[in-house]
Structure 1
Amino acid sequence: MAKKLPSPCIDVCKFRREGHCIGCSMTKAQKKMFKTLKKPEHREAFVTMLLHQQNDLGKYRHWTPAYLKKCAKKGVTPPVAA
Structure 2
Amino acid sequence: MPKFPSPCIGVCKFKREGHCIGCSMTKTQKSMGKKLKKPKERAAFLQLVMAQQEVMGRYTHWRLAFGRRCEKKGLKVPKLRGD
TM-score scaled to structure 1, two decimals? 0.88
1:29-44 pair list within 5 angstroms? 29-44=28-43
Alignment-derived partner of residue 18 in structure 1: 17
Deviation track 1:1-54 (CA, whole Å, cap 9, x = no partner) reads x54211000000000000000000000000000111001111111111111111
* Root mean square deviation, CA, Å: 1.3
Paired position in structure 1 for 2:73:
74
Task: Tell me the number of residue pairs that the alignment of Structure 1 and Structure 2 aligns.
Answer: 80
Task: Structure 2 unaligned segments of length 5 or more: list them.
Answer: none
Structure 1 unmatched ranges of 5 or more: none
Indicate the percent of aligned positions where both proteins have the same amino acid: 56
C-alpha distance in 1 between matches for 2:5 and 2:17 = 25
Shift of 1:68: 1.0
Distance 1:19 1:53 in 2: 13
| Residue number in structure 2 paired with 1:59 | 58
Structure number with the bigger relative contact order (C-alpha 8 A, sep ≥ 6) is 1
Q: TM-score, normalised by structure 2?
A: 0.87
